[in-house]
Structures are given as structure tokens and as C-alpha cells.
Structure 1
């Protein structure tokens, strides 16, 4: 089983790339976002790999991060979701955006993915609401009115607040939702302490 490949990008196509690893060209399917993030042809890259083995084929799926790979696995655990739809979701939403959409129950965000209608989006949110990967904390995307240029500071305070709430025993999706609500109430410049306090009030409702 292949878990990771490091090689040189030989070619990037619409839904896959050819990765040259010591003279062997591996065809690796990726999300559109991962393909867009790849270096130019001839440059080295490392991808986390999910290997699908069936009677009639072996297919490799590549991911820029372990968090993206974990979301790929989780999405396929949802009834009716296969590899193609899972990649479509990850092509539309970054892992942090998907974690946030699941935490907030944002069906409209998930339904933007090709082939994912409101019914499938509802199923994804319902079945994954308590399963967000732990790595999503570090990539948290704050949701605050007027959020914009101060992104790095916001993400740091929000990430610290989420970490604190999960350390108190709250689930990651609940912590995401509580901190997102706290950001909307306190604004994008709120400190981690303020977000924790408001988040705890939100969780106590």
C-alpha cells in the first residue's frame, strides 16, 4: 500500500498529475485545489496518497496535507459519497472551510460542490458533525462580519480559543461553531480570552 510519494511533477492535467518517482510515472488523482497548489513541471513535490485497489484497477489519490486526506476518507464514509464526489467537495472547499461548514451546519456552502445537492449536503453535515479531523484547528477560517485583511491574527486567536475549548472537553465541531459565533459577536480583533469567554457562553445555551 502506498501512503506517500515524493517526486518530480512531470505533467498536470484537469483532474490528475503525473509524478515521476525515480523514473516511474505515477498517475495521481487530486482535488482541483491541490492541483492548483502544485509547483511547475520539473519541480519536486510530496503528496500523501490514498490507494484504491479493485479487481480491474489500481487508482491513486493525492493530497497536499494529511487533513485533506482525512476529510477524503470521512466524506467517503457518508452514505452515497464516492471518491469522485469527495474530490468535488475538496475541490470546492479547503479542509478548513469544510470543517467550518460542517460545524456551522452550512448546507449551502457544501452544496456548491458539483454533484452535491441540498439533500447530499445535509447528509454530509449530519454524518460528519462529530468527526472533524483534529488538524482542522490549525487551519480554522474565522467567520466574522467584515473579516478580511487581519486574517493571520484572527486565525491565531480563533485557533487558540478552539484549542482551549476542546481541552475543556467540548467536541471540535462544537468548538468551531462556538468560536465562530463569538467572532461574529466580538469582531475580528477579539482576543483569544474574549473568544473563549463568549464561546463558553454560546456552548452553555
Structure 2
């Protein structure tokens, strides 16, 4: 198993790059996000890798971070998601956005990727829901510049409202308001109940 490659970036293509390591050029498939993070040709690069082996092929896929590689493994574990589709999803969404989409069961966001239809997007968010934690916090939502609440209770409350069908922006605003009203004495149950009341207004 090749865990990573460290060498010179020789060339880049639409969905791959060639990295030279001690005189050997490795063709590495990549998402557009990883390709854009590599830097200029001729410079030293390091990418995390996953080796794919089939009956009639052997292929290396590279990632800018270990987190992106972890998501690639999760995605390709879903029926109907091959390496090409997984890379398309990772090209369309940052890992934090993908985490949030799965946590909030936002299949429309996943379906933004090329080659991902509504049914496959639904299967992805459904099957990966139990394999990830709460949505990551501290980043802007794709729908606007609303910031997610940051406490562990707030994350859990966000997830609970998301499971009930509230949009991320609605859940975020309701949980933030409830958290501000309840203060440090808030429990998860109280936070969810108050956030529901505020979201329903």
C-alpha cells in the first residue's frame, strides 16, 4: 500500500497529475480541489494516496489531505459510487460541506456533483449518516454567511433539527437563539425543545 507520495510535480491534467519520485513518474488521479492545491509544476509536492486494484487495472488516487482521503473511502463504500463519482463529489464539495450535507441529510447539495442523481445522492447521505459525527462548525453555510453554533450541545441540537427536516440556515438560527436564551445551564433536551419553538415561529 502506498500511503503518500512526495516528489516533484511534473504535469497536471483535467483529473490527474504526474509526480516524479526518485526518477519514477506516478500518474495520480485527483479531484479538481486537490489539483488546484498542488501549486506550480516543477515544485515539490506531497499527496496522500489510495491505491485501487481491480482485475485488469491498478490506479493511484491522490488527495490534498488525509481527511479528503477518508471521505473518498467512505464514499466508495456506498453502492453505486465508484472512484470517478467519489472524485466528482470531492471536486464539487469541500470536506466540511460534504460532512454537513450528510449530517443534515441534504441530498440536494450532494447532487450538485457531476454524475450524481437524486436517488444516488439520497443513498449517500442515508448510508453515511451513521458513519460520521455531527456537522463541523465554525464555517459559513453554502446558502449564505450564517455561522453554525459552536458548542457540542449546539451541534447535537443542529443535527436533531436537521433530522426533523429543517434547513441548515433555519436550524442554525433557531439553535443560536435558543442557546443565547438558555445560557450555560442549557441541556440538550431543553435546547432542542426551545429551538423547535423558535424555528416554528
The TM-score range, normalised by the shorter chain, is: 0.7 to 0.9
Calculate the TM-score normalised by the size of structure 2.
Answer: 0.77
Is the 1:110–1:121 contact (alpha carbons within 8 Å) kept by the matching residues of 2?
Answer: yes
How many equivalent pairs are there? Answer: 187
Residue 117 of structure 2 aligns with which residue?
117
Q: Quick check: 125-134 or 18-27, which moved more?
A: 125-134
Q: CA 1:9 to 1:126, structure 2 compared with 1: closer, same or farther past 3 Å?
A: same
Matches within 5 A, 1:11-22: 11-22=11-22
User: Considering only CA atoms, is the larger Rg found in Structure 1 or Structure 2?
Assistant: 2
Q: What TM-score does the superposition give when structure 1 sets the normalisation length?
A: 0.75
Other structure's SS at 2:39 match: coil
Equivalent residue for 1:143, pick from 130, 141, 144: 141
Once superposed, which parts of structure 1, at least 4 consecutive aligned residues long, lie more than 4 Å away?
175-178, 193-200
Post-superposition offset of 1:58: 1.4
Counterpart among 181, 192, 196 of residue 202 in structure 1: 192
State whether structure 2 residue 159 is matched by structure 1 residue 174: yes
Aligned to 1:161: 151
Structure 2 gaps of 5+ residues are 197-201
Structure-1 separation of matches of 2:184 and 2:32: 34
For the aligned residues, what is the CA RMSD? 3.5
Larger relative contact order (Cα-Cα within 8 Å, sequence gap ≥ 6): 1
Shift of 1:61: 0.4
